[in-house]
Amino acid sequence: MTIEILSPQNSTPNRWLSALLLGCVVFVLTLFCLELIVVSGKISPLWFPTTLMTVVVFRCPSRQLPLLLTACVLGTAGANAIIIGPALSNIKFALLNLIQAGVGGMLLRALLDRRAPLDSLHDWARMVLSVGIVTPVLGGLLALWTLQVSGHASFPFFYTWVISEIIGMLVLGPMLLLLPWPLRRTVFSNLRLAEALLTLLLTLGASYLALRFLPWPFTFIVVILFWCAVRLPKLQAFVLFFLNASFISILLAFDLVTVVNNNSALGPVSSWLPFLLVLIPSHIMSLVMDAFRREKLHITDSETRFRHAMEYSAIGMALVAPNGSWQQVNRSLCQILGYPAEELKRLTFQQITHPDDLSLDLQQVSRLLAGEIDTYTLEKRYFRKDGEIVWTQLTVSLVRDSSYAPLYFIAQIIDISELKQSEQVNRRLMERITLANEAGGIGVWEWNLLTGEMLWDKRMYALFGLAPHESPSYDLWIHLLHPADREYAALTVQQAIELRSAFHMEYRVVDDQGHRWVRTQANRLLSKEGRIERMLGICQDITPLRNLNEALFQEKERMAITLDSIGEAVISTDKEMRVAFMNPVAEKMSGWSQEQAAGQPLSELLHITQGRNGPEVENLLLCQLPPEKITPGLAEDLVLHTPDGGHIDIHYSITPLRSEAGLEQGAVMVIQDVSESRKLMKRLSYSAL
């Protein structure tokens, strides 16, 4: 629950309630200070209302200040009216307090952080300088000028005003600045009230006894307040300072204790000056102890974070002594090296480092100890407890003490054995790919379509005759092509980009010795949006292949022309004696066209008999690939019957085809029309008879 005083989130009804509560608080504080005057019969050098109004100006939003400060002025004037009686001076001095508080609040806004106004001694010094010296003097001068106008000004009034404002600010100001705003009940529940109340009772009793019975009592009061500063947190200490100051003020006002006054120049306030000097060292001690506690907490937190970060880290971590012994190791490192923690601490890193890596590691350690480097990272091998070798990435830094002497190394060790194995596999794979590309004369290229950058390997530079210092580009590549192939190549690439597809093409590259043929194949790499980001491809010199194809084509043409021009029928088959090729003479003799006969068994294509009406030739001769050339004798009188019922006297031969390695590939059958020769032979035979 929030106590809605000085809360910036107040609604309109709550703002009036906050102003009312604040006016009541100022009224009570003013009444307390005025009662001290009434009881003691002299001016009290202790004034709280200005301090509270100063903190209000510092803490509250500007739009709420008019209402809250009006309540403060009315509360101060009301208390004055009750104690002194109705008079215009009540409003006049309340307004002077308001002016002083306004100036002080603005100074605090400029000098302090609202979220942590008293976080260090520097903040406290700025507070004392601004609202503990400047504004009290300013307020005293304004009050002196006001009384000067009415003819009642006096120097004792001035220094009493200043000292009372200073003491009020030092007593109440730090406590108000340290209280969180808006106030919450949790603030009071976190104050360890039992301990605070016990300490308060002890300090109040000790202060009373010191003032009542001891010489130089304020010296003992300083010791009492120092004990509070050392014992309690900062806020509680300043609360106790405030309560002790109020208690001592009551004792002095009621003459319950007597303080020897040896300085008549300052009059009645001289007995309060030691009290002012008591507060200053107490404040300083409290802030110093607070800084010490925060620094100690920070160190403890840092050590805890480091300990947890080291112990539960996924990577191996260790603290290593300058001589190489393991001082502290985490579980991950024990798992990497295979040693229990206690056994590993009995070893040095030199004992389990691979001999080939030890020299480099020790060199880096020497440089680190000499201050030449701050840290180093290297890859090294360790021997596990089971004798296996583990590859690690080691990062080492050195921690030194305040005199720059080395304390220990911080080592971070990552197991990279799998990475090393993958690197080795990838390296071998790249070696194989590189060797395969070099053996095949293949160049690899990459084209970034977003930046226009092209990357070529050495083979690409050789294929296109590019100098090592030249940078490849799309325009340069087009320029290197044969003029007749440039449009075709550019169109192929453009279509591939538009269709987001792969492409392949063959073109000529012009060089000093003429031109050569290059085959290019490429695939595209798409972005998440489906656009082509890069193209990756290969280029291969196919000039020998193109020349061979051209020679084969010419040879094929010559063979076809030769076969077309001869008078014999030529039929080529495969290993199963199925027709693969027929020349025009064979088409005419058999009555089958090339298209009809392709793939048909030779035995079904040809119907051969011995004589016109004789038996058919043995079918196996046409169904199986012969082991050697077969040529029937001329006397067998072979006749080829055509599908249209005709018949042709023939003589044939079947020759097997073999590869260079002797493997059977098919056969060639040559058929000759011997009808005329046989007629001539018959006439000669008849004439001879």
Residues 652, 73: Cα–Cα separation, whole Å = 139
Residues 197, 247: Cα–Cα separation, whole Å = 14
Residues 625, 526: Cα–Cα separation, whole Å = 55
DSSP class of residue 618 equals P
Sign of CA dihedral 198, 200, 201, 206: positive
Tokens of 344: 């590993």
Q: Is the pLDDT of residue 99 over 80?
A: yes
Instruction: Please report the DSSP string for 205-249 in residue order.
Output: HHHHHHHHHSSSHHHHHHHHHHHHHHHS-HHHHHHHHHHHHHHHH
Nearest to 57 by CA among 4, 100, 12: 100
pLDDT computed for residue 656 by the predictor:
85
Contact 533, 550 (CB under 8 A): no
Q: Can you state the percent helix, strand and coil of the chain, rounding each to 5?
A: 55, 20, 25
Phi, psi of 198 (to 5 degrees): -65, -45
pLDDT computed for residue 4 by the predictor:
44
Q: Is the pLDDT of residue 424 over 70?
A: yes
- Whether this prediction's pTM lies above 0.85 is answered by no
Nearest to 121 by CA among 277, 280, 310, 237: 280
Residues 40, 60: Cα–Cα separation, whole Å = 35
Q: What is the mean pLDDT of residues 513-541?
A: 85
**Helix or strand run (H / E) with residue 466:** none
Q: What is the mean pLDDT of residues 541-548?
A: 84
Residue tagged 């190489």 (tokens): 324
Q: Three-class SS of residue 685?
A: helix
Residues 334, 330: Cα–Cα separation, whole Å = 7
pLDDT computed for residue 381 by the predictor:
92
Nearest to 671 by CA among 562, 565, 560, 570: 570
Could you tell me which residues are beta bridge partners of residue 610? 638
Tokens of 358: 């030890």
The burial class, CB within 10 Å (0-12 / 13-18 / 19+), for 222 is buried
- How many CB atoms sit inside 10 A of residue 114's CB? 11
Separate counts of helices (H) and strands (E) for the chain? 26, 18
**Helix or strand run (H / E) with residue 598:** none
Contact 136, 144 (CB under 8 A): no
Contact 460, 477 (CB under 8 A): no
Q: Is the pLDDT of residue 263 over 60?
A: no
Instruction: Please report the DSSP string for 149-203 in residue order.
Output: HHT---HHHHHHHHHHHHHHHHHHHHHHHHS-SSEEHHHHHTT-HHHHHHHHHHH
Nearest to 449 by CA among 548, 342, 522, 541: 522
pLDDT computed for residue 553 by the predictor:
78
Those residues with Cβ within 8 angstroms of residue 307's Cβ, 6 or more apart along the chain or in another chain: none
Rg, the chain, Cα only: 56
Could you tell me which residues are beta bridge partners of residue 652? 671
Tokens of 527: 């972005």
Length of the chain: 689
pLDDT tens for residues 202-244?
Answer: 888 888 888 777 777 777 888 888 888 888 888 888 888 888 8
**Residue 530 binned pLDDT confidence (cut-offs 50, 70, 90):** confident
Residues 391, 421: Cα–Cα separation, whole Å = 10
Residue tagged 């900062």 (tokens): 234
Nearest to 48 by CA among 172, 158, 159, 178: 172
Q: Is the pLDDT of residue 376 over 90?
A: yes
Kindly state the percentage of the chain with pLDDT values over 70.
88
Report how far apart, in Å, the C-alpha atoms of 683 and of each of 580, 639, 676 are: 39, 19, 11
Residues 337, 353: Cα–Cα separation, whole Å = 11
Nearest to 638 by CA among 606, 608, 594: 608
Q: Three-class SS of residue 569?
A: strand
Those residues with Cβ within 8 angstroms of residue 211's Cβ, 6 or more apart along the chain or in another chain: 217, 221, 248, 251, 257, 259
Q: Three-class SS of residue 406?
A: strand
Contact 638, 632 (CB under 8 A): yes
Residues 155, 172: Cα–Cα separation, whole Å = 26
Query: Which of 34-48, 295-309, 638-652, 655-669 has the least mean pLDDT?
Result: 34-48
Contact 53, 26 (CB under 8 A): yes
Contact 638, 617 (CB under 8 A): yes
Q: What is the mean pLDDT of residues 328-348?
A: 90
Cis geometry, peptide bond prior to residue 182 (ω within 30 degrees of 0): yes
- Of 553 and 172, more confident: 172
pLDDT computed for residue 309 by the predictor:
74
Residues 148, 154: Cα–Cα separation, whole Å = 8
Residues 602, 136: Cα–Cα separation, whole Å = 130
Tokens of 341: 């923690």
pLDDT computed for residue 264 by the predictor:
47
Residues 317, 412: Cα–Cα separation, whole Å = 5
Phi, psi of 384 (to 5 degrees): -70, 170
Q: What is the mean pLDDT of residues 371-387?
A: 91
**Residue 2 binned pLDDT confidence (cut-offs 50, 70, 90):** very low
Q: Is the pLDDT of residue 267 over 80?
A: no
Q: Three-class SS of residue 335?
A: helix
